[in-house]
Structures are given as C-alpha cells and as structure tokens.
Structure 1
Amino acid sequence: MIACAMNGIAVYEPPSSAASWRIALPHTVAAVPVARALVRSAMEETDHPADTDTAELLTAELVANAVEHTAGKGPIELVVELLPGGCKVEVHDPDPAPPGHLTRPVIEEPDPMQEGGRGLLLIRALSSSCGHRPTESGKAVWFRLPVVPRQWRPA
C-alpha cells in the first residue's frame, strides 16, 4: 500500500501483489483463537487495508461453525488470501452439506434469549460477499471484505 501526494491530496494505491496462507486447524474449539490470530497477524504484517477487526470476527464465526456443525475428527483448513482489492477467507470442512442460511435471507429474527444463531447473519451483513462451494473432501465456506480507504480506518 502506497500513499502518494498529488496536489497536496493523499491518494491511496492498493497493494500490487497478493499474499495467501493455508493452515490445517484442529477440529476443536481451540481452532477459533488460532484462526483469529493468524488473520490478524497476516493483515498487520502486510499492512493490508481491509478491516482487520471484521476479518477476525467473521473468520472466528466460520471456524466456530465448522467445528460445531460438522462431524469428524479430521482437521479443518483455513485459507486467507490478501488481494489488492480486499481479502478473502475460506474455511474448508469435511461436511458437504451447505451451511444453514448463509446465502438466503432468513425471514425470522434470531431469538434474543438464545446464545447462538447469529453467526451467518453477521457474515452476510458485514462481508461484501459470502458463499460456499463443494470441494473434493466436503465444502468451503467463504467471505470477502473490500479495501477500506485509509481515511476511514481507525488510527
């Protein structure tokens, strides 16, 4: 990421190259903080201009869903791609069934007295796009976040 001054105005130039990480995580709740830390570290090290807090939150939701809603002891896989236009995060799990209501609107509101039921809603609401696709060993659930202009990011 480069900031240039043109006529006294700072102009944002997105990073010109992509970076990616792929890591196997245990099929346990211990995977959630590891995934969050990996996303945060990757974005901070590359000074990536997508919203790090949102990427970390949505990654935690995807990993928690993969751990909670898929059977098996095999690892799940986290794939993080930092691209010039934003970031994409995928979580691969062994269950081929599509995730709940990720890509279709839900008519009913989550029960305010229930602890769960908001993860997919958060992913739909906070990402620029999201979805799922079949893989050879199950499925990948993903979200994308756009680049946030520097003047809109917290200092």
Structure 2
Amino acid sequence: MSATYLFDGVPMAAPHCGVRRAGGDPGRPGIRLNQSRALRWPDSIIRRLREFTGIGGPVTDHRASWVLPDDLSSVPAGRRLIHAQLSEWEFPGETDVVELLVDELVTNALRHARGQPVLTLSIRAGVLRCVVEDETSELPHAESPTGCEESGRGLQMVELLSRRWGVEPTRTGKAVWFEVLSD
C-alpha cells in the first residue's frame, strides 16, 4: 500500500519507525489518516519541524536587490519594483511614502552620479531599509531652495518622511539609504 505523507500540505518521505495508524496507542501521538486518506503528522512533530527548519513560521526578514538601467526610465521602474515587492511581502507600512522616497533617491543617483544605480530593499525587525548605491563618491547635500524653484527639496523630503537616513561610502562609490517603520 502506497500512502502520501504530508507536512503542511507538502509531500514528505514516509517515516520508518514508530508509525501507528489511527486507533493506535491513545497515550502516544502517532501519524494518522486525515479526511483525504493521506497520513498527517502529529501537531507536536509539526511544531518541532517548524522550529527547527523555520518552515511555516512568520517571516520577519526580507531582502531584494535590483540593478537599474542608467537612464531616467529607472525612476518609474524603481517605483513599480518597490510597490510589487512590498505587496508580495505584505508590508503593513505606508508604501506610498516608500515609493516617493525611492523615486527621489533613484532620481538623485541618475542626475548627480554615474553608473547603474543598485536599489536594495530589506526588512528586519519591523524596520524597512531602502538603499540606492551609485558609482560616485561625492556626498549628497541638502539644498535650501527659495521661492518657486522646481528642485532642491528631495533630501528635505527624505529627512521629514523617513525614520532615519544617511550616506555610507562603498568600495565603488556611495550608498544613500533611509529607514521607515512598519505599522
């Protein structure tokens, strides 16, 4: 007789020892048949497997990275990538703010630096961090635009809307980053 063994719906190798059918020793948990006639692992074993492997547990750390083209088409592409990734991760924070700030950092990298920007997004312990790397070591500086000037307010926006932000030198240039908290 061939049987399907499942661990949270995933086929697993058949256990070779201590297997008891439904109706076995009631004092000891065993593998039992579920409604679909597939064998089901006991909850205590499933909990231990989850603890050991991390399968099925809450995922709190994520990381994704993209190399963007060295042209202004990277700005909307970066927004779309961020939007899709945060949706996939079910990020509970304000994704519009993150997209706006990514837009600013990618635009700055394209206008004031050289090379293909590298966009990295990560979540760790409830903090979302976005990094845009470029190949220029010149550090960005916040401007103080006057009147109706169209540019110069980007880093002020990053300062106001993020939890923290900064610039770090890299081997090939610099990385400008910001952090926001998830709700």
Question: What TM-score results when the alignment is normalised by the length of structure 1?
Answer: 0.77
**93, 98, 108: which is aligned to 1:55?**
98
2:124 match: 83
- 3-state SS of 1:91 partner: strand
Higher relative contact order (CA 8 A, sep 6+): 1
Considering only aligned residues, what root-mean-square deviation do their CA atoms show, in Å? 1.4
**Hey, which bits of structure 1, 4+ residues long, moved more than 3 A?**
none
**27, 31, 34: which is aligned to 2:74?**
31
Q: Which runs of 5 or more structure 2 residues have no equivalent in the other structure? A: 1-57
1:93 match: 134
Cα offsets for 1:45-71 (capped at 9, x unmatched): 11112210000000000000000011x
Percent identity (aligned): 34
Higher fraction of strand = 1
Matched, 1:45 2:80: no
Q: State the structure with more CA Rg.
A: 2
C-alpha displacement of 1:83? 2.5
Cα distance in 1 for residues equivalent to 2:85 and 2:59:
16
- 3-state SS of 2:166 partner: strand
- 3-state SS of 1:81 partner: strand
- Size of the aligned set, in residue pairs, is 126
Cα distance in 2 for residues equivalent to 1:56 and 1:83:
18
C-alpha displacement of 1:136? 0.5
Matched, 1:126 2:161: yes
Preserved CA contact (<8 Å) 2:126 2:182: yes
